[in-house]
Amino acid sequence: MEEKPDEFLHMEGINKSFPGVVALNDVSFGLKRGEVHVLIGENGAGKSTLMKILAGLYRKDGGSITLDGKTLDFMSPREAIRNGVAMIHQELTPIPDMSVAENIFIGREPLRLGLIHKKEMARRTRELLKMLDSDMDPSTPMRRLSVAEMQMVEISKALSYEPRVIIMDEPTSAITEEEVENLFKVILKLKEAGTGIVYISHKLNEIFRIGDRITVLRDGMKVATRNASELDRNELISLMVGREITDVFPKRDVPIGAEVLSVRGLGIKGVFADINFTVRSGEIFGIAGLMGAGRTEVVETIAGLRKAEAGTISVNGKQVVISSPRDSIREGISLVSEDRKKIGLNLKGSVKENMTILQLRRLSRFGVMQKRRECELVDGQIEKLRIRTPDRNRKTMFLSGGNQQKVVIAKWLLNSPKVLILDEPTRGIDVGAKAEIHKLIVDFAEKGMAVVMISSELPEVMGMADRVLVMHEGRAFGCLDRADLSQEAIMRLATGHAGGKV
């Protein structure tokens, strides 16, 4: 890739290897002032690695970085920020006991007479949040925030540096559609001010809406750099995965059997109230709604992570008492949570350890692990779910997002659940891995499992679900049959216009 005269940032021939893995092989990338340059590819393609090198988090093994004609090699994120390069990370790392303002300005707090000027810090924080149309209180401890609110704080922190280059790694993965619109307004302001933006996302509708140029990486190598206007969705997918994905939502009609899960009048004061629905064998039951509608809280209650204050839960026609995750597991309910890295996985543990953590008693005989049986179970799941890993002992931190998600699913499948609950099952994974996860979900339903799926992506809900319960501010506003599904119908209910049958 020859450096273009109008590119003020240029990365040439970048190489990076980790033990046993070539992450980047001779990758070049450029950025113009006032441009949104989308960086896209499947998980493991090298996108985040390339940007972490630019942001000073990783050291490159070879190649060069030029900014405004000056060759640079950032030794740390602080040095990158000093030179005008800031990054919004996909993996949120808040300091939970510190406030919003303290998280944004940590290490560079405004001072007055040698002391931290808290009022000034709060004022600056409010200004940053106002850019995103957020009225969040700067004094709120981070631990009280939702994932979406934490994401907004991370974006505000990056903006606070007033960077010349801002890297956005999956910035909309956990925020609402309204917050996405606010972010896009900010991006347009940054473009007008001449800021160069590198935008990493798996959401193709966003890419074509916000992107000026698109660079595609595959297996650590650059495949193409094209103007966004020259590409269509199918061609972009083909460049990303090296093959055509003809059916991202491989929904098949399967026989719907008897009622497996019944929820009646479920509620927790101040969180959600009077939730009613049933899920049958072979059915994929979607739950939709805007961020904060209470979707996750409902399924966490069914899975025993929260304690219901009202209502009943029945499995196979029998009312059950669920006060803990152990109770839900015993009743055949498994929850794949939305935050796989925080809750679903031990990232430092191996694929085998993560899969069998719930099976230790079953795999023990007189206190001794049956190693051969354990390996057979794990290898069976690796093959069945097509998990890409060198072996069962690979640490999960080194797997792509899609394969990490498959490990979490495999862990719960080993419990032979009657009800499988999937909360944002494809968040943060690429289009190829999404298609694979979707196919697995359909396979589970075809085998008679009752599947509950939460998704913030309306095309996913519409493409996969047999029925969709739509929530608004902690209440169920309607349930739509597959034949009645449309983005307009779902959004009408999600914004509080009642209708539909439950």
Task: Tell me the pLDDT tens digit for each residue of 196-207.
Answer: 999 998 788 888
Same domain, 181 and 53: yes
Model pLDDT, residue 457: 80
More confident residue, 177 or 118: 118
Domain boundary among 415, 448, 475: 415
Element (H, E) at 333: strand 333-336
- Domain with 471 in it: 245-332+417-502
Domain boundary among 181, 216, 241: 241
Over residues 280-297, mean pLDDT: 91
CA atoms within 13 A on the CB side of 308: 25
Same domain, 218 and 167: yes
Same domain, 223 and 265: no
454 has a pLDDT exceeding 90: yes
Same domain, 149 and 268: no
Model pLDDT, residue 1: 45
Rounded CA separation 182/331 (Å): 43
Task: Tell me the pLDDT tens digit for each residue of 475-499.
Answer: 999 999 999 998 888 888 888 776 5
Only one residue has tokens 């990486």, namely: 217
Among 216-225, 258-267, 420-429, which range has the highest average pLDDT?
258-267
Tell me 141's DSSP state. Answer: B
More confident residue, 278 or 456: 278
What CATH number should be reported for the domain holding residue 201?
A: 3.40.50.300
Same domain, 374 and 467: no
Over residues 312-337, mean pLDDT: 94
- Residue 243: Cβ within 10 Å count: 9
Same domain, 83 and 35: yes
Same domain, 211 and 250: no
Model pLDDT, residue 405: 87
Same domain, 397 and 421: no
Same domain, 64 and 198: yes
Least confident of 36-50, 71-85, 159-173, 238-252: 238-252
Model pLDDT, residue 499: 57
More confident residue, 290 or 441: 441
Over residues 352-375, mean pLDDT: 84
Over residues 102-119, mean pLDDT: 90
Percentage of residues in the chain having pLDDT higher than 70:
95
Model pLDDT, residue 62: 95
48 has a pLDDT exceeding 90: no
Residue 15: closest CA among 56, 48, 41, 46: 46
143 within 8 A of 96, measured Cβ to Cβ: yes
Model pLDDT, residue 346: 87
269 within 8 A of 456, measured Cβ to Cβ: no
Cβ-based burial of 244 (10 A; exposed 0-12, middle 13-18, buried ≥19): exposed
26 has a pLDDT exceeding 60: yes
Model pLDDT, residue 213: 97
Same domain, 165 and 201: yes
Same domain, 178 and 310: no
6 has a pLDDT exceeding 60: yes
User: Would you state the structure tokens that stand for residue 218, as one six-digit string?
Assistant: 């595959």
Model pLDDT, residue 363: 81
What is the average pLDDT value for the chain, to the nearest integer? Answer: 88
Task: Tell me the pLDDT tens digit for each residue of 76-98.
Answer: 999 999 999 999 887 677 888 99
221 has a pLDDT exceeding 60: yes
What domain count does the chain have?
Answer: 3
